Amino acid sequence: MTAPIISLDDVSKRFRKRTQTVHALDRVSLDIAPGEFVSFIGPSGCGKSTLLRIVGGLLEHDGGEVVVSGESPARARRHKRFGFVPQAPALLPWRTVRRNVELLDELNRRGADHPSLDDAQTLELLEEVGLGSFLDALPGELSGGMQQRVALVRAFKLGAPVLLMDEPFSALDEITRVDMRYLLLELWERIRATVLFVTHSIPEAVTLSDRVVVLAPRPGRVVEIVDVPLPRPRHDDLEDSAAFHDTVAHIRGLLRHGMQR
């Protein structure tokens, strides 16, 4: 059996807010294999984004253990093992599409122990996501969906073994959001990085993932880890399948039950 690239063992987190302590996460345990796509879903405030930041070395946990590629999240971060895709694309308005994609690679190569994509590979990805004729366009000339495509290519360009995605499609309209799911799958099929993906959309989680981690309301804890029984590669016709609808219904039931407890 392949050793996990990410291992969480009884991970807990508390925040001090003025005079009270907020218990954000409670003994979360999970092993994630290299190249696996795992989504986290749960009600607002259940600690999904907190967990992502802990894995990425941006936030310390209070209890338990987190191991990424055999080392602590902080060391993995220093070795540039993570690519981040936030809710907002965070593009620099004075840099073109091409130069925004190059930005993180320019800033983050020191200490990296893996190669980034070369110029030809990067151009190929930009062409694949429909940005080949917009290489010299500024962010203000792009739609929201196009800006998020730039952010995706920028993250994949780093060649990082782990991609952390925090609701990257939440600000998009539903039609664009569905298109972006399948675009992300196409990119992921090419690169096969390990992806941790936070979302509030059950269909999105099922469409994208090998497994879906369902979290309970605060303090966030694992209710169930759901295997997604859908073959890869995936296309939009899978959303008409009984397996898709059954998995969506099962996760919805877990969330509903968790909210009532």
3 state SS of 84: strand
pLDDT at 116: 83
Q: Are 21 and 15 in contact (CB under 8 A)?
A: yes
pLDDT at 106: 73
pLDDT at 260: 55
pLDDT tens, 165-182? 999 998 888 888 999 999
pLDDT at 11: 96
pLDDT at 134: 95
pLDDT at 45: 87
Give the pLDDT of the chain (261 residues) as one tens digit per residue.
Answer: 578 999 999 999 998 877 788 899 999 999 999 999 999 999 988 999 999 999 999 999 999 999 999 999 999 998 889 999 988 888 999 999 999 998 877 766 565 667 788 889 999 999 989 999 999 999 999 999 999 999 999 999 888 999 999 999 988 888 889 999 999 999 999 889 999 999 999 999 999 999 999 999 988 999 999 999 999 999 989 999 999 999 999 999 999 876 655
Alpha helices in the chain (DSSP H): 48-55, 73-78, 97-108, 119-128, 144-157, 174-191, 202-208, 242-260
User: Diameter of the chain by CA atoms?
Assistant: 54
Rounded to whole angstroms, the Cα distance separating 80 from 35 reads 17
Rounded to whole angstroms, the Cα distance separating 111 from 108 reads 8
pLDDT at 50: 95
Nearest to 55 by CA among 46, 65, 63: 65
Rounded to whole angstroms, the Cα distance separating 196 from 188 reads 12
pLDDT at 131: 92
pLDDT at 113: 67
pLDDT at 250: 97
